[in-house]
Amino acid sequence: MIFLRINVLILFFVHTLPLAAQLRYYTDPLKTALSLSGNFGELRADHFHTGLDFRTQRKTGFPVYASAEGYVSRIVVSPTGFGRALYINHPNNTTTVYGHLLRFRSDIEDYVAEEQYRRRSFAVDLQLSPGRFTAARQEQIGLSGNSGSSGGPHLHYEIRDTPTQDALNPLHINNFNIPDHTSPRIRSVRFYPLDSLSHVEFMGTPLTRTPQAVGNLYSLPGGQVVKAWGRIGVALQSNDYFDNNGSPCGIFEASLAVDGTERFRYELSRVAFSLNRYLNSHIDYGEYAETGNRYVKMWLEPGNRIPLYTTDTMKGILAIDSGKIYRGEVRLKDVAGNQSVFRFQIAGFYREMPVPPSCSLPRFRHNAENRWSDEEFEIITPAGAFYDDFPFRYERSERTDGFFSAIHRVHRPAIPVHKAVTIRIKTAALPEQLRSKALVAEISREGLLSSAGGSWSEGWMQTTIRSFGSYSVALDTLPPVITPLSIKENALTEPSRIRFTITDDLAGIKEHTGLIDDQWVLFEYDPKNSLLFYRIDSKRLQTGKRHTLLLKVTDQVDNESVYRATFWK
């Protein structure tokens, strides 16, 4: 009898637990109030954001906790990416990732330093077996920071499927303490004629409108019915928000229905890193390249292979006939289930569009290799380099001062390049000793140069590129510039570290080596601040004497700078 009563009590208790508590396999990785500056699936440059960005009050140094029990399976230290990052494998076959850390737990920190000294490398990527470092649920594993390619102090947090390393949407599988009663907001909508026979409002170009909102229901201003004919696509510029902050975040789920039938849907619950660049097909990339605005297309391009979508046979493209009215609805959802709806009507009106001038340009196929060349330029693109077919455009202008080839305009930046494509550029006569200093430079609209690397052979420079634009051959003959910040006249001006800024004019920094008393020492590199620094390590450096310091920095074309000093410590 007593036994039965306990069972009843337990059942009662389990059923009255809030859903949140039942689903919490993962605890919050910070003990401060959680606030997101970014969420899973947010649209970023060339990728979907694969985790949660937790704010840390614009400061570094907050304790970071393992969100479930497990063992450290991987430790990365990198000047870019997640900077200092820990990966913890859990018994449920998931891995949590903690990025941009300032410091690791002290035993892990000691191990990493040992490995850095053993390999004589600041950057390390260490795979670990289960017994090496374990972490209990909620055990502190490090301090939050701003390391790697971080735009300000925060914790980047991921949950991955361990066998595939696919990133999972943390908010979709676990309830973190992040209040969310706020619906997605729609900022702008666009209607696209998708071929030369189609029109929107009798134009061959997209129609852009700012919708009106009544609560979470959006519609076109003035009750506009869009007149169109042919193959039409719809795209939205929208963001999701959480209750306690104003950061624009990404949409979890969106669907398009016409006359009550669903045509297209995507859901951002899982992303494979190898497919993450398909973001450039998910959005109207041309508009993004031109204005920085990201419109998500509610149709699928033929070359888009990321499996986020459920579509009809038309892949979300609307076929608009004359004399018919189409009632469309786009529904946006966040993970918490808050929704916004955009309703629109399209009226089919046939209009004969002007026949486009016959196109003599070579057609590049998205699903095949493409090659094009003339006497000064060659391009070879692998199958799958593009999301759709397009007429390839190439122009050339005369070489100008400072360049060692003609200026090659390789199509337009509006077409995204998915896989690296090879270009070859004929160079002007280059003296032999300068050939190793040549590189392919991309020239921005503002005329700024950035290196696309490459190597010289038989009068041609060859490299691979991942964006269209203007390219030419330039030289980098200047070595990196080393500027001491903590040493003056052979004396230290800071008590516990030695800092430098290092910069390069074009090719970019390739490597650095720091020696104290002829022994390799760990200089940490923070390229976003052009900083190179050594923390005085009293375990490894014998103090109470004068030391020699030598710092060597080389750029990508092997120009080298050397800095020498002595100091007392």
- Structure token pair of residue 282: 């998910």
Nearer to Zn ion, 70 or 250 (CB): 250
Euclidean distance between CA atoms 403 and 445, whole angstroms = 16
Distance of CA 234 to the CA centre of its chain: 25
Question: Minimum distance between the CB of residue 50 and Zn ion, rounded to whole angstroms?
Answer: 8
* Percent of residues in the chain assigned helix, strand, coil, to nearest 5: 10, 45, 45
Question: Minimum distance between the CB of residue 470 and Zn ion, rounded to whole angstroms?
Answer: 32
Stretch that binds Zn ion, among 150-158, 229-237, 309-317, 472-480 (CB under 5 A): 150-158
Stretch that binds Zn ion, among 116-124, 154-162, 237-245, 388-396 (CB under 5 A): 154-162
- Of 42-71, which residues contact Zn ion (CB under 5 A)? 53
Q: Are 20 and 229 in contact (CB under 8 A)?
A: no
Question: Minimum distance between the CB of residue 99 and Zn ion, rounded to whole angstroms?
Answer: 7
Question: Minimum distance between the CB of residue 145 and Zn ion, rounded to whole angstroms?
Answer: 13
Euclidean distance between CA atoms 365 and 134, whole angstroms = 50
CA distances from 183 to 39, 241, 330 (A): 14, 7, 14
Kindly state whether residue 524 participates in binding Zn ion, applying the rule CB under 5 A.
Answer: no
Which residue minimizes CB distance to Zn ion? 156
Task: Dihedral sign for Cα 146, 49, 386, 288, please.
Answer: negative
- Of 448-487, which residues contact Zn ion (CB under 5 A)? none
Nearer to Zn ion, 94 or 340 (CB): 94
Nearer to Zn ion, 208 or 247 (CB): 247
DSSP three-state, residue 331: strand
Nearer to Zn ion, 156 or 282 (CB): 156
Q: Which residues of 65-81 are buried (b: 16+ CB within 10 A; e: fewer)?
A: bbbbebbbbbbbbbbee
Nearer to Zn ion, 53 or 526 (CB): 53
User: Judged by CB under 5 A, how many residues of this single chain contact Zn ion?
Assistant: 2
From residue 227 to residue 266, the character string flagging contacts with Zn ion as x (rule: CB under 5 A) and all else as - is ----------------------------------------
Nearer to Zn ion, 34 or 186 (CB): 34
Kindly state whether residue 158 participates in binding Zn ion, applying the rule CB under 5 A.
Answer: no
- Of 379-408, which residues contact Zn ion (CB under 5 A)? none
Nearer to Zn ion, 142 or 193 (CB): 142
Question: Minimum distance between the CB of residue 155 and Zn ion, rounded to whole angstroms?
Answer: 8
Nearer to Zn ion, 105 or 156 (CB): 156
> How many CA atoms lie within 13 Å of 504's alpha carbon, on the beta-carbon side?
25
DSSP three-state, residue 277: helix
At residue 258, what are phi and psi to the nearest 5 degrees?
A: -125, 130
| Cβ contacts of 312 within 8 Å, gap of 6 or more | 261, 262, 263, 264
Euclidean distance between CA atoms 184 and 492, whole angstroms = 54
Kindly state whether residue 156 participates in binding Zn ion, applying the rule CB under 5 A.
Answer: yes
Nearer to Zn ion, 247 or 345 (CB): 247
Output DSSP code: residue 274: G
Question: Minimum distance between the CB of residue 42 and Zn ion, rounded to whole angstroms?
Answer: 9
Question: Minimum distance between the CB of residue 150 and Zn ion, rounded to whole angstroms?
Answer: 8
| Cβ contacts of 121 within 8 Å, gap of 6 or more | none
Question: Minimum distance between the CB of residue 49 and Zn ion, rounded to whole angstroms?
Answer: 6
Nearer to Zn ion, 85 or 553 (CB): 85
List the strands of the sheet with 140-143, edge to edge: 63-65, 140-143, 103-104
Nearer to Zn ion, 156 or 512 (CB): 156
Q: Alpha helix locations (H) across 78-216? A: 106-119, 170-173
Question: What single string gives the DSSP state of each residue in 335-368?
Answer: TT--EEEEEEEEEE---PPPPPPPP-SPEEPTTS
Question: Minimum distance between the CB of residue 474 and Zn ion, rounded to whole angstroms?
Answer: 34
Angle, CA of 154, 65 and 68, to the nearest 5°: 125
Question: Minimum distance between the CB of residue 92 and Zn ion, rounded to whole angstroms?
Answer: 23
Residue 274 — left, alpha, or beta (φ > 0 → left; ψ -120 to 50 → alpha)? alpha
Question: Minimum distance between the CB of residue 98 and Zn ion, rounded to whole angstroms?
Answer: 11
Residues in the chain: 569
User: What's the one-letter identity of residue 382?
Assistant: P
| H or E element that contains 241 | none
Nearer to Zn ion, 48 or 377 (CB): 48
- Structure token pair of residue 248: 């624009």
Question: Minimum distance between the CB of residue 379 and Zn ion, rounded to whole angstroms?
Answer: 34
Stretch that binds Zn ion, among 155-163, 192-200, 223-231, 403-411 (CB under 5 A): 155-163
Question: Minimum distance between the CB of residue 240 and Zn ion, rounded to whole angstroms?
Answer: 16
Nearer to Zn ion, 43 or 234 (CB): 43
Stretch that binds Zn ion, among 156-164, 245-253, 364-372, 393-401 (CB under 5 A): 156-164
Using CB under 5 A, list all residues that contact Zn ion.
Answer: 53, 156
